[in-house]
Amino acid sequence: MTPPNNNKNLMRLLAAFSQFSLTTQSKVKTLINSPPSSVVLPPTIPRILFSSSSEQPISGSSSDFGLGTHPFIIQLAQNAIHIPLVLFTSKLTNKLHKESTSIKQNTVYNSLGTKCHVMDLSQFPEESTMDIADWHEAWNCYRVFLESSCDHTLYTRWNDHYQFLAKQDDFRNNFPAILKFDIEERTRYSLDPREFNRESYLCHFKSVKIEVMHTKIRNATQNLGVKHTSST
């Protein structure tokens, strides 16, 4: 009677096993008799790898990450004095914080007739000298100051003002008009705060753009005249 296939396979395994050295046979016996090892499969990778739940609370205020608004600027605001945007550039922010003892002060009377001491603004560059990079940098810092110093309505108004100007078409070529309009709007409000009127606001912006364009044309014409005179 022919043995089943299982018996044949077993006989082949025994024959092969008998050919192993004693050392190898001992190792095989150890493997056969040892309990099966438990294989730990990796858990399923979650779809969310990073979560805000693992964040630690911040100790201290946000001023830990920057110099913040200098008290001299806050004094200007408290006395209803126009704050030049240029004071919020990183260059002048560093100057105020690191050289505050050398900043000149003036004695003035505020709108309420109260005598006060504020820094002399004539020792700083004019707002009108800012370039595009300075303007954006200063506005980003200025908005942080406004957010902590204004109510929601007023902060939204000035944030919308910045966004309106920052999104103007052909920004680089229109920047002289944008800067002039921005300075005039903020100066007007600091001297005489009025409710926002969109029609008046847009009309003012249009008139400033026309004024700046006429100035460019006049200057270009004068330059051409000078060149023509010098060539003759």
pLDDT over 90, % of the chain: 56
Of 7-21, 100-114, 154-168, the range with the lowest mean pLDDT is 7-21
pLDDT computed for residue 226 by the predictor: 63
Which residues fall within 8 angstroms of residue 229, CB to CB, at 6 or more apart?
A: none
Per-residue confidence at 120, pLDDT binned at 50, 70, 90?
very high
pLDDT computed for residue 89 by the predictor: 95
pLDDT computed for residue 23 by the predictor: 76
Query: Across all residues in the chain, what is the average pLDDT?
Result: 84
Which residues fall within 8 angstroms of residue 157, CB to CB, at 6 or more apart?
A: 196
Per-residue confidence at 82, pLDDT binned at 50, 70, 90?
very high
pLDDT over 70, % of the chain: 78
pLDDT tens for residues 175-228? Answer: 999 999 999 999 999 989 999 999 999 999 999 999 999 999 998 888 776 665
Closest CA to 193 of 142, 158, 144, 143: 158
Q: Where are the alpha helices (DSSP H) in 19-57?
A: 22-33
CA atoms within 13 A on the CB side of 60: 5
Residue 83 neighbours by CB distance under 10 Å: 20
Distance CA 27, CA 79 (A): 92
Tell me the one-letter amino acid at 100: S
Cβ(117)–Cβ(106) under 8 Å? yes
pLDDT tens for residues 19-64? Answer: 777 777 777 677 677 666 555 555 666 677 677 777 776 554 444 3
C-alpha dist (Å) from residue 12 to 15, 98, 232 = 5, 90, 116
Per-residue confidence at 87, pLDDT binned at 50, 70, 90?
very high
Residue 205 burial by Cβ neighbours in a 10 Å radius (0-12, 13-18, 19+): buried
Per-residue confidence at 231, pLDDT binned at 50, 70, 90?
low
Using DSSP, state whether 222 is helix, strand or coil. helix
Stronger pLDDT, 66 or 207, i.e. the higher one: 207
C-alpha dist (Å) from residue 161 to 132, 164, 174 = 16, 5, 16
pLDDT computed for residue 31 by the predictor: 67
Cβ(162)–Cβ(178) under 8 Å? no
Bridge partners, 116 (sequence order): 108
